[in-house]
Structure 1
Amino acid sequence: MSKRLPVTVITGFLGAGKTTLLRELLQTSGQRLAVMVNEFGSVGLDGDLIRSCGFCPEDELEGRLVELNNGCLCCTVQDDFLPTMERLLERADNLDGIVVETSGLALPRPLLQALEWPDIRSKVHVNGVVTVVDGQALAGGSPVADPEALEQQRRDDPSLDHLTAIDELFEDQLQAADLVLMSRADCVSEAALLGVCDQLKTDTRAGTPILPMRNGHIDPQIVLGLEHRHDHSHDHDHSHVHSHDHDHHDHTHVEIKGSVIRLEGRVVRAALEQALKALVGPHQVVRLKGRVWFPDKTLPLQIQMVGPRLDSWFEAAPPTAWRPQSGGGMDLVVLGFSELLSEAMSRDLHKLVSATPDTPKAPAATSNA
């Protein structure tokens, strides 16, 4: 069984900082990514910015960068998004993931629904919807710095079939978000930043992380997930992951802690997934990845979480992957804010394993935090 390719959707209004973030990810992640860029008009400015960042060799550009200039992607799913995704998936063996940068007017949900298309859903998983917001504009009372430019985008798109008001569109992008990144956070005071965060929390789903960033600097593992080359072993250290450097604005500095949780024992899939969804908020989990083994299943269950989104499917593990001695257990890598993340998560998941009938042995947990 081949691995499902992660698809990350980056959305947000015109000028929020989506392309700046995407360039940073392409240059620093070390992953082999294909990119789909959706913009308006025949002049592909965003595509030019991506092409010029040197994220892949010149002879691979045609197969790894796709520019869609003919309208809002969520309104042209059948004509543009699905055929393009199918073409990119033909190169799946040579890719670590696909990133889709939407236009400022896009509604994320139609794209997520399109990824459930029968010919696609078994080949991909949603790695996360990342909504980029302008912290400076929000502190000034508007979700977009230049409303007229956004309206001009709307007028210039003949295929646009949703005339959603700006506030409603912004709310939709936040509701779909698994992760919210706030650009220009260093341009506002700490008090204003806290006020913006409180405002955003009212429109996002419970457990959705809201992280500040400056000039697109954010650790790629937060946005793209843990790298594939780390999939075979959890011996790497995530204990000091930073979103970016800082000078005068300490409130824009984010330090992410990483840990490994290994528990042996019988567990019920539905109970585990329900517990994980309930734990991400209280434990401030940004991302979670791992495998769960069941004694009566040949393949382990692959678990992927970003914020409140959880995806799971059965997939073969590499020969070098950790496995429980008893036949049942879990092996999770968790990224979050808390120093005590591993201890707290292990304790709560231990209760789940221990409460399950026929637990073969006491669990063991390790941490790199």
Structure 2
Amino acid sequence: MAKIPATIVTGFLGAGKTTLIRNMLQNANGKRIALIINEFGDLGVDGDILKGCGDETCTDDDVMELSNGCICCTVAEDFVPTMEKLLARDLPPDHIVIETSGLALPQPLVRAFNWPGLSTRVTVDGVVTVVDGKAVSEGRFAHDTAAVDRQRAMDDNLDHETPLSELFDDQIACADMIVVNKSDLLGEEESDHLSAVLKAESRAGVQVIKTTMGVLPVEVLLGQNLAAETDVEARHEVHHHHHADEDDDHHHDHDEFESFVVTTGEIADPKAYAEKVADLIRQHDILRLKGFATVAGKPLRLTLQAVGPRIETYFDKPIDGPRETRLVVIGETGLDREAIIAGLAP
């Protein structure tokens, strides 16, 4: 029996993974796709957005969420049982898509496909790493080797890169395809240069593709047929070397990040509130902010997603619960929660 292909979609917080997947679902061409979503934080925003895809090939039952921690740290407890549940269905999916949290390392997840019970039934079609082209071009997750070497010479305590850079490097090292998203925010020369740099830093044969709003043909994203789980050593972590069969108390800088949910009341003016949120993000260096807002007098909920100070808002579906605003805030450890909560008040 042919193995069911699975595509792993990884990338840093706010790179555009959910947008990419939503577009894929809306253009699935009849392919039955099941999703496993791994959120970082307590509010299942990505899963809720994807459940609203409205496509008969991807029903609510086809979207499974893992929110008990980073997927690369909970392979045995969460991921494997979820996969087994999918595979046990009377009508298994044609393809499985796994969206990791922005903090997950893809390598342990690829190794998990060699576990007994999975290895004979499912295979990793490919690993897609989504990159925020604008952020990376500005050097926020790129590594300046010369600058670090100069700092090392002056400070013996500085012996590694920042956690964000390490994570970015590991996601690139594991990729079969790198999607440079938000390329519309870059000039042609800048975009071409970034693509060339990413191609040079990735493994031989890795595709680097530019896109805007995650729009790519399903045929490009799926059907790579690479059996990535058989090529794990070539995808080694650049900075981390824990394995799925190691002790559960391993660490890889997840304590460098924190998240919390803020619940407030209705907002009056979506545009003014978005500007207020953008200012708050700048003040507190918030990495990612996402969730849903209720606008006074409006029957539809407002979806709000922010990557740094860049904010996207849109009305998506009727409000079916309390008329409140719930936002998840994600940032590096040390956020001033009280100030942020106060700043998000309507």
TM over 0.5: yes
Instruction: Write the letter of the residue equivalent to 2:39.
Output: E
Distance in 1, matches of 2:173 and 2:204, equals 10
Aligned residues of 2:37 and 2:100 also touching (Cα < 8 A): yes
Q: 1:223 to 1:84 in 2, by over 3 A?
A: same
1:47 corresponds to which residue?
Answer: 47
8 Å contact kept, 1:178–1:209:
yes
1:32 alignment partner AA:
R
Cα contact 2:38–2:101 (8 A) shared by 1: yes
Find the aligned partners of 2:16 and 2:162 in 1 and give their Cα distance.
21
Deviation at 1:92, TM superposition (A): 7.0
Q: Could you tell me how far apart the structure 2 residues matched to 1:7 and 1:214 are?
A: 24
CA contact (8 A) 1:125 1:311 kept: no
AA aligned to 1:36 is I
* SS of corresponding position for 1:125: strand
Alpha-carbon shift at residue 57 of structure 1 (Å): 7.0
Q: Is the 8 A contact 1:29 1:221 kept in 2?
A: no
8 Å CA contact retained: 1:134, 1:143 = no
Contact 1:74-1:110 at 8 Å conserved across structures: yes
The CA distance in 1 between the partners of 2:90 and 2:111, in whole Å, is 20
Instruction: Give CA-to-partner distance per residue, 1:243-280, whole Å, 9 cap, x none.
Output: xxxxxxxxxxxxxxxxxxxxxxxxxxxxxxxxxxxxxx
Partner of 2:33: 33
Flag the 1:164–1:112 CA change in 2: closer, same or farther, 3 A. farther
Alignment of 1:96-115 (within 5 A): 96-115=94-113
What code does the residue aligned with 1:123 have? R
Distance in 2 of aligned mates of 1:93 and 1:82: 19
CA contact (8 A) 1:5 1:92 kept: no
- Quote the residue 2:139 is aligned against: 141
Q: Within 5 Å, give how 1:294-305 maps onto structure 2.
A: 304-305=225-226
> Residue 193 of structure 2 corresponds to which residue in structure 1?
195
Shift of 1:164: 7.7
Note the alpha carbon deviations across 1:91-132, whole angstroms, 9 max, x for none. Answer: 274311100000001111101111100111000111100000
Summarize the alignment of residues 229-248 of structure 1 with structure 2, pairs less than 5 Å apart.
Answer: none
Q: C-alpha offsets along residues 313-337 of structure 1, whole Å, 9 cap, x if unaligned?
A: xxxxxxxxxxxxxxxxxxxxxxxxx
How many equivalent pairs are there?
212
Match runs of 1:1-369 below 5 Å: 2-30=1-29, 31-56=31-56, 60-62=59-61, 64-91=62-89, 93-143=91-141, 165-225=163-223, 287=224, 304-305=225-226
Does the residue aligned with 1:126 lie in a helix, a strand or coil?
strand
Q: Could you tell me how far 1:54 is from its partner in structure 2?
A: 1.1
1:215 is paired with a residue of what secondary structure? coil
Runs of 4+ aligned structure 1 residues displaced above 4 Å come to: 309-312
- Could you tell me how far 1:199 is from its partner in structure 2? 1.9
Cα 1:139/1:164, change in 2 over 3 Å:
closer
**Is residue 8–residue 126 contact of structure 1 (8 Å, CA) maintained in 2?**
yes
**Using the alignment, how far apart are the partners of 2:171 and 2:40 within structure 1?**
19
Q: Judge conservation of contact 1:184–1:214 (CA < 8 Å) in 2.
A: yes
Tell me which of the two structures has the higher relative contact order, counting C-alpha pairs closer than 8 angstroms and 6 or more residues apart. Answer: 2
Cα-Cα RMSD: 2.3
CA separation of 1:92/1:171 partners in 2, compared to 1, >3 Å: closer, same or farther?
farther
Question: Letter of the aligned partner of 1:67 in structure 2?
Answer: E
What letter corresponds to residue 212 of structure 2 in structure 1?
A: R
| SS state at 1:202 partner | helix
* In 1, Cα distance between equivalents of 2:114 and 2:230: 12
In structure 1, stretches of 5+ residues that fail to align are 145-162, 226-286, 288-303, 313-369
Question: Is the 1:185–1:193 Cα contact (8 Å) retained in structure 2?
Answer: yes
Contact in 1 for aligned 2:127/2:177 (Cα 8 Å):
yes
> Is this contact kept in 1: 2:124–2:229, CA < 8 A?
no
Per-residue CA deviations over 1:328-363 (Å, capped at 9, x if unaligned) read xxxxxxxxxxxxxxxxxxxxxxxxxxxxxxxxxxxx
Query: 2:11–2:171: 8 Å Cα contact kept in structure 1?
Result: yes
Q: Tell me how far 1:138 sits from its aligned partner.
A: 1.3
Distance in 1 between the 2:14 and 2:108 partners? Answer: 22
Q: TM-score, normalised by structure 2?
A: 0.58
SS at 1:142 equivalent: coil
Give the CA deviation at 1:311: 6.8
Cα deviations by residue, 1:48-68 (Å, 9 ceiling, x for unpaired): 11011113379x422x11011
Q: Percent identity?
A: 43
8 Å contact from structure 1 (residues 135, 184) kept in 2: yes
